[in-house]
Structure 1
Amino acid sequence: MRETLERLGIMRQGARFAQHGEHEPENTAPLVLVACSGGRDSMALAALSRTVCASFGVRCGAVIVDHGLQQGSDAIARQAAQRCRRLGLDPVAVRSVHVEETGGGVEAAARQARYQAIVAVAQRCGASAVLLAHTKNDQAETIVIDLLRSGGLDALAGMPQSFILDAVRFARPLLSLTREQTTGICQDLGLSWWDDPSNGDGFDADEELPADFPLRSRVRHSLIPYLRRFSGSDIVSHLAAMAQTAALDKEYLDMQADHVAASAVLSGPACAQAGAAAAAAAVLEPASGASRNSAPDPADSTPALAWSVDVLRGEHAAIRRRVIAHGLSALGIAASSRHVEAIDRLISDWHGQGPVSLPSGYTAIRKKHVIRLCQDGAHANR
């Protein structure tokens, strides 16, 4: 916890906070929020955060999100808030969200709604950081899930220790602890917690979870224990250690890709010409005003993003594809590796092929030495 706060630039607010006894932080001291579900991991994090923040002279609060997906979820959220207040956390905010499934699954929709609510609370409170209670077990499960869904280096890197979302800084201090250890912390401190029934904790170890349970719960309950028995080793620690190494490789590749993108990404007006000057960052422009009854050529649409083929052609495929993936992500396009590879072929294997269709009505098309990424209103509504 101390290392996490220091990495975030949150330091001890004065010498008196290093002395024995309880010292009230100043009202102007930095505020750290704990994202708390009321489960064992987040209750352990709330208790640890309160202790360490007090020793730093830093204010410590909590935010609880009620997804409304289970009967009585509002009461569970209130109980979590009461437990946080008894620990001394202040402020404690409870937010109810509406989870709207839009095709990516309920889990993804709930996660998006949760982060939006947490960001809103953190911004309103002026929080310096938000702490998440993901453990080493969560890290291992995430890697397995990402390998099942996508693969690649990013899947092996797992969850980062820290990240920024909408100018709010998030950190995960418990990635070096197991779920057994957070359970022990709660037991040692006499803390009560809530077990989410969707996690399948009520099932016997040799009992298969029904197929309608979340994928993460099935990975946790069945697949990880099987891998542990099969390998005869601590698969959770092995996957978590691998994630640390892969994260360093990912960080380096991301830095190289960002450097290349600074030259490869062209401004909207310039991308109509093959030899246009490179811009320092992507230019995100409004989509063309195509009518619902027309289907204009994607090459004539105002580009949301454009890449110079001449710049990207000389780069390694690992860098090219990362530049493409970063650009798609910046536009909020939920593209798969198949989409990224298809766009990359417009660079490395160009033989006059047609446009690449992407989610959200976007299309990537090569015109001479420029790849234009456009959103066609008619295409999106087709």
Structure 2
Amino acid sequence: MLQDALAGAGYPERVLVACSGGPDSLALAAVAAYFARRGHVDGHPVSVGAVVVDHQLQHGSAEIAEKTAATLGQLGIAPVLIRTVDVAATGMGPEAAAREARHAALEAAADELDAGVILLGHTLDDQAEQVLLGLARGSGTRSLAGMRPDRGRLFRPFLGLRRADTLEICDVEGLEPWHDPSNADPAFARSRTRVEVLPMLEEKLGPGVAESLARTAAILQLDADYLEAVAEDAFGRLRQQSGDEISLPETSLRGLAPAVRFRVIAKAAAAVGGQQPSYQRLLAAEALLRRQGSAGPVQLPGGVNVYRLSLAELLAEGGSAPADVPREGARCGKLVFRPQKRPQT
């Protein structure tokens, strides 16, 4: 698994393991340390470092980070960095905020050490939990596709292993992992999914539920990647930019398949500084194309307004009719995405 991941990454000379001290990441570090001691993977030279991120969210987190770093050093991994981060209170929720801070610290450490790959210890169980949470939230294809095996420098070679496998690796290697108490805290939806929901599904539906959910994620990743590529091409063809505004020709946008149209609208919002809109917000923006009721603006997350500019308004502003508008389409114009002006302080 790890060999396959490093081969897929082009056999980078330096690899960085992200380790919290938990069983999954500690087992991954133990496997990576084996190749570090050998000094090569499939004949390609490799050195292995590690980074421990202290989120400062629990009492004694600094001591846990120090103990984990010492264990990694005993495995023969070097250098081992400890990075302390401040998890900002944002509207994205504590788990997402912690993940954002952690990934920023990992990327910075990889830059510092010139590492080509950052290894993460997520398992098949994590993937199954991710899919279940996406289903519960009514998320789209990308969310249900779960975590990618690799994205940029981030690689997850253990996505095919169960959590029990990582515990066994730690036991065989004589390692004592730290068990994060938040993983069993019912205050968190992911913890409830892990401790209550997934075991109940395995009990009621029979074994193999986690594997089936992970397989669903793998299938949907292919679908999501294809739709993403089609939407990216369509957005590149349709986008018209003026200053900090982006507009999309109404006729062309309406001609896209719905699955692509929603993605193009989301891309336009992101291109002017917005965040991923919810399905409800995308529906509201897409409804402007039907020319029923208000022409906007519709507010999208991240401080973006989208409104419909009719052809008459477009011409009044000194613009020209889109080339793809037929004569009978005189009512057609464009959707305009504009970042909201921030109040000056």
Give the fraction of aligned pairs with identical amino acids, expressed as a percent: 38
C-alpha deviations, 1:341-361, integer Å up to 9, x for none? 2222223x2235221112233
- Asked if structure 2 preserves the Cα contact closer than 8 Å seen for 1:263 and 1:311, the reply is no
Please, which of 8, 17, 29 is the counterpart of residue 34 of structure 1? 17
Query: How many pairs were matched up?
Result: 314
Cα separation, 1, equivalents of 2:91 and 2:147: 23
Deviation at 1:332, TM superposition (A): 4.2
CA contact (8 A) 1:162 1:170 kept: yes
Aligned to 2:325: none
Does the alignment pair 1:357 with 2:299? yes
AA of the residue aligned to 2:5: T
Aligned-pair distance for 1:227? 1.1
CA contact (8 A) 1:153 1:246 kept: yes
**Cα distance change on mapping 1:334 and 1:10 into 2, 3 Å:** same
**TM-score normalized with structure 2 length:** 0.86
- 1:133 touches 1:172 (CA, 8 Å); kept in 2? yes
Segments of structure 1 that go 5 or more residues without pairing to the other structure are 12-29, 201-208, 270-284, 286-302
Query: Alignment partner of 1:312: what SS?
Result: helix
Question: SS state of the match for residue 137, structure 1?
Answer: helix
Distance 1:376 1:156 in 2: 31
Indicate the SS of the match to 2:27. Answer: helix
8 Å CA contact 1:264, 1:309 repeated in 2: no
Tell me which amino acid in the other structure corresponds to 1:55. H
Show the counterpart of 2:321. none
TM-score of the two chains, using structure 1 as the length reference = 0.78
**Deviation, structure 1 residue 328:** 3.0
The correspondence for 2:203, drawn from 222, 229, 236, is 229
Partner of 1:62: 50
Cα separation, partners in 2 of 1:155 and 1:315, compared to 1, 3 Å:
same
**Residue-by-residue CA offset, 1:84-140 (whole Å, 9 max, x unaligned):** 111111111101111121122211111111111111111122110111110000000
Alignment match, 1:186: 170
Partner-residue secondary structure (3-state), 1:100: coil
Match of 1:264 in 2: 238
Which of 178, 188, 203 is the equivalent residue of 1:214?
188
Contact 1:161–1:171 at 8 Å: present in 2 too?
A: yes
TM superposition shift of 1:162: 1.1
Letter in 2 for 1:10: Y
Q: Is 1:345–2:292 an aligned residue pair? A: no
CA distance in 2, matches of 1:377, 1:324: 20
2:250 matches 1:309 = yes
Distance 2:25 2:49 in 1: 13
CA distance change for structure 1 residues 48 and 327 in 2, over 3 Å: closer, same or farther?
Answer: farther
In structure 2, C-alpha distance between the alignment counterparts of 1:5 and 1:268, rounded to whole Å: 43
- In the TM superposition, residue 334 of structure 1 has moved relative to its aligned partner by 4.2
CA contact (8 A) 1:68 1:96 kept: yes
Q: Which residue number in structure 2 is paired with residue 5 of structure 1?
A: 6
User: Aligned with 1:267: secondary structure?
Assistant: strand
Matched, 1:150 2:138: yes
Conserved in 2, the CA contact under 8 Å of 1:63 and 1:121?
Answer: yes
Partner of residue 239, structure 1? 213
Alignment equivalent of 2:259, drawn from 318, 340, 356: 318
Taking CA–CA contacts closer than 8 Å with sequence separation of 6 or more, which of the two structures ends up with the larger relative contact order?
2
Asked whether the 8 Å contact 2:269–2:304 carries over to 1, the reply is: no
Tell me by how many angstroms 1:327 deviates.
Answer: 3.3
Quote how far apart the aligned CAs of 1:5 are.
Answer: 0.6
User: 1:144 offset after TM fit, Å?
Assistant: 0.9
Distance 1:162 1:178, change over 3 A: same
- Matches of 2:68 and 2:106 in 1, distance apart? 15
Residue correspondence of structure 1 range 80-229 to structure 2 within 5 A = 80-164=68-152, 169-200=153-184, 210=186, 213-229=187-203
Contact persistence 2:118–2:155 (CA under 8 A) = yes
* 1:328 alignment partner in structure 2: 269
Task: Give the alignment of 1:69-80 within 5 angstroms.
Answer: 69-80=57-68
Match of 1:372 among 312, 328, 336: 336
What are the ranges of 5 or more consecutive residues in structure 2 without an aligned counterpart? 311-332
Please give the alpha-carbon distance, in whole angstroms, between the structure 2 residues aligned to 1:66 and 1:148: 30
Report the AA paired with residue 16 of structure 2.
Answer: L
Query: What's the CA shift for 1:145?
Result: 1.1
The change in CA–CA distance for 1:315 and 1:241 in structure 2 (over 3 A counts) is same
Q: Deviations over 1:266-314 (max 9, x none)?
A: 1225xxxxxxxxxxxxxxx3xxxxxxxxxxxxxxxxx1x3222232221
Q: d(CA) in 1 for partners of 2:72 and 2:32?
A: 11
1:21-44 superposed Cα distances (whole Å, 9 cap, x missing partner): xxxxxxxxx211011000000001
